Amino acid sequence: MDDFERELKVGFLEEASQLLSDAEQCFLVLESNPGDGPTLDKIFRIAHNLKGSSKAVGFDDIGLFTHKWESFLLKLKNGETAVTVAVISLLLLCNDHVRMMVDALKQDLEARVDSSELLERLDSMISGTASMEPPVPVPESAHSFEGIENLVSESTEPESGEDVHGAFEGEPPPSKEELELLKLVNDSLDDLPNPALEVTKEEENIVIPDPEPVVQEMPAPVFELKRPEASKPVSAPMQDESIRVSLSRLEKLINSVGELVILQTVLREQSMSGGSHLLRKTIHQMGKVTKEVQDISMSLRMVPLRQTFQKMQRIVRDTSNMLDKRVALSTQGDDTELDKTVLENISDPLVHLIRNACDHGIERPEARVKAGKRETGNVMLNAYHQSGKLVIEVKDDGGGIDGDRLVQKAIEKGILKPDAKLTREQAIHLIFHPGFSTKAQVTEVSGRGVGMDVVKTNIEALQGEVLVETELGKGTTFKVILPLTLAIIDGMVVKNGNSRFVVPLSHVHETLRPTGNDIHASTGMGEMLLLRGENLPLFRLSRLLGQKKSEESQAREQIAMVIRYASRPFAVMVDDILGQQQVVIKEVGPEIRALRWMSGSAILGDGKPAIILEMNELVKPEGRGVA
């Protein structure tokens, strides 16, 4: 296989991935609106594109399957077959199968997948002899290459008289020269590869900006006789052009910009101790330009949540059907952007939360009617920015979480002692305990006690947290709070003893210098800070880190930082606050990476390093040790 042919094949596979994602969303739209003609037309065009392009680049297995798939879609398009839940389930199953074939070919361009079972089902549906029972639900493994178990060494033979090589029915198989010409035509028409793709096989890529929206076909114009005046031509709206950039190059750019930020900070520190007025002014102006370059480079990594949210539509549909429940998903804020690295790691936690809402949150239809609710439960997925963080909410209008029931289950499982006394908040957070589940039997959806534990672990690994708000009979809201990026943050530089530390500025609500009357001791609670009538737990950074206080620090009045980032606010006393600055997060070594209270390190203005503190973890007794 020469480089030209390989490039065509890889380009098609990436185009196919995007087309299959579009097709899945169209199927879900069609299920709720069976008479939507434009959606049916779009689905048919996607299948026709997949068939023709796959045969052109030599993927005959995909071409054979999509040819049969297209024939079935044609019956739907012509109104010969009704759009039912069983039909949509079959179409989604076919979509997953083609996705599995594409994933297999991404790993090995010579891979073969057995499609005989689904081809037989499509044949029977086309001929009208198939049972209208819904297909077996698709297992989760069908969505990824890891679940492929039916790779075979030989392909399914095409049926006699079936068009295997041509892009349209009834065409004779082209010669080798014609096939090469077809490849060149496809390439020249920019059908392969698609410039709006995000990933290639050789190296991951990111598109700047977002892919262009799909342009809907307009109906043929209707001309009327004796029109008073001719219509004026309408110019097409201007659209941003996009280019495909290697992600490795983008990472190198961001790292270089991060080093530039460090050097600019060093220059600014040096200029404060001496130098001409012109030098300080120039460095100040350079800081503005550096900040602008940094913001632009960081925005290149930001991608919208739209595709991730769209995938949850399929999760809700499959899960609710499996549980025989009626659940509707609504989304808001899907245009909110997030760092690509963070986005890639929140997909699994969101899947767990959505499935948990359908299974544990939403009641069965008869129970909802008895409670005075509609049979169809509602799950809302919402995203928004708040205080420099991204918040993703998964909210349901189900039965809520019963803390007393959780405590009883924990006692039965030996997680808690029979005489354990927990607050309502502590009881609710039992759902995150490893191995904890309220289900008596293990099902395909839940019961293993690993889902919510995975959610908490994965979110905390991203320097985020999960909050739970629930009300019996009303529903539950899970709030996932995440950093917008894991590369550069605004930090507050504090001094304690002879050491300096960085605290993420988004964690600090306010700072103050308390007087003796503001601090008092509480039995069983330790020191407390009285702040405008509110009692906050008070911690001293030197004690948290096991530092010995010098005579200088003992004589100095300390400053309290009020932290409201965590689920419960608290205050931390430090010797001094040196200022605020943007810092580039550097990974720490493997020997101290397990310390949860240390989220990384940074280089300060004088070129010396400082630890970035995760205060929420530091104040936990178990958080100060090795996780």
205-223 mean pLDDT:
43
Q: Examine the domain organization and report whether 341 and 475 are in the same domain.
A: yes
Q: Tell me how many domains the chain contains.
A: 4
CATH number at residue 196: 1.20.120.160
What's the CA gap between 230 and 228, in Å, rounded? 7
Task: Compute φ and ψ for 263, nearest 5 degrees.
Answer: -65, -40
Q: Examine the domain organization and report whether 501 and 562 are in the same domain.
A: yes
Least confident range from 40-49, 78-87, 150-159: namely: 150-159
Query: Residue 466: inside a domain, yes or no?
Result: yes
Contact 338, 302 (CB under 8 A): yes
Structure tokens at 83: 């759009």
Query: Residue 124: inside a domain, yes or no?
Result: yes
Task: Compute φ and ψ for 496, nearest 5 degrees.
Answer: -140, 115
Q: Does 38 sit behind a cis peptide bond, omega within 30 degrees of 0 on the bond before it?
A: no
DSSP 243-264: EEEEHHHHHHHHHHHHHHHHHH
Unique residue bearing structure tokens 């949150």:
361
Number of H helices, E strands in the chain: 18, 20
Unique residue bearing structure tokens 């001309």:
223
What's the CA gap between 329 and 378, in Å, rounded? 6
Query: Residue 227: inside a domain, yes or no?
Result: no
Of the residues 301, 320, 342, the one at which a domain ends: 301
Query: Residue 18: inside a domain, yes or no?
Result: yes
Task: Please give the C-alpha separations between residue 464 and each of 130, 156, 481, 566, in angstroms, as whole numbers.
Answer: 50, 48, 5, 10
Q: Examine the domain organization and report whether 404 and 528 are in the same domain.
A: no
What's the CA gap between 193 and 188, in Å, rounded? 10
Structure tokens at 544: 């948290």
Least confident range from 38-42, 376-380, 460-464: namely: 460-464
Residue 217's pLDDT is: 40
Of the residues 260, 278, 301, the one at which a domain ends: 301
Residue 138's pLDDT is: 42
**pLDDT, tens digit, 9 for 90 and up, residues 474-529:** 999 999 988 776 667 788 999 988 889 999 887 888 999 988 788 888 777 788 99
Q: Examine the domain organization and report whether 292 and 307 are in the same domain.
A: no
Residue 387's pLDDT is: 67
User: Is the predicted pLDDT of residue 396 greater than 90, yes or no?
Assistant: yes
| pLDDT top residue among 373 and 590 | 373
CATH number at residue 307: 3.30.565.10
Contact 88, 30 (CB under 8 A): yes
User: Is the predicted pLDDT of residue 238 greater than 60, yes or no?
Assistant: no
Q: Examine the domain organization and report whether 335 and 462 are in the same domain.
A: yes
Q: Examine the domain organization and report whether 126 and 249 are in the same domain.
A: no
Query: Residue 156: inside a domain, yes or no?
Result: no
Q: Examine the domain organization and report whether 346 and 373 are in the same domain.
A: yes
Q: Please give, one letter per residue, the 3-state secondary structure of 32-60.
A: HCCCCHHHHHHHHHHHHHHHHHHHHCCCH
CATH number at residue 532: 2.30.30.40
Q: Examine the domain organization and report whether 178 and 139 are in the same domain.
A: yes
Residue 556's pLDDT is: 60
Q: Examine the domain organization and report whether 321 and 294 are in the same domain.
A: no
Mean pLDDT of the chain, nearest integer: 75
**pLDDT, tens digit, 9 for 90 and up, residues 72-116:** 888 888 888 888 888 888 889 998 999 999 999 888 888 888 888
Quickly state the pLDDT bin for 566 (edges 50, 70, 90).
Answer: low
Length of the chain in terms of residues written:
627
Q: Examine the domain organization and report whether 326 and 454 are in the same domain.
A: yes
Q: Examine the domain organization and report whether 328 and 347 are in the same domain.
A: yes
Domain that holds residue 187: 3-143+163-202
Query: Residue 418: inside a domain, yes or no?
Result: yes
Residue 417's pLDDT is: 85
Query: Residue 149: inside a domain, yes or no?
Result: no
Angle, helices 85-107/306-323, rounded to nearest 10 degrees: 130
Residue 479's pLDDT is: 92
Of the residues 483, 499, 534, the one at which a domain ends: 483
Task: Please give the C-alpha separations between residue 142 and each of 17, 152, 189, 449, 529, in angstroms, as whole numbers.
Answer: 14, 16, 33, 23, 55
Q: Examine the domain organization and report whether 462 and 498 are in the same domain.
A: no
Quickly state the pLDDT bin for 160 (edges 50, 70, 90).
Answer: very low
Angle, helices 306-323/3-32, rounded to nearest 10 degrees: 60
248-252 mean pLDDT:
82
* Residue 47 CB partners (closer than 8 Å, separation 6+): 23, 66, 69, 70, 73
The DSSP letter of residue 357 is I
Query: Residue 440: inside a domain, yes or no?
Result: yes
User: Is the predicted pLDDT of residue 351 greater than 50, yes or no?
Assistant: yes
Task: Please give the C-alpha separations between residue 524 and each of 84, 96, 514, in angstroms, as whole numbers.
Answer: 63, 57, 22
User: Is the predicted pLDDT of residue 56 greater than 90, yes or no?
Assistant: no
Structure tokens at 391: 């918040």
CATH number at residue 279: 1.10.287
* Residue 341 CB partners (closer than 8 Å, separation 6+): 301, 485, 486
E strand intervals along 140-249: 205-208, 243-246
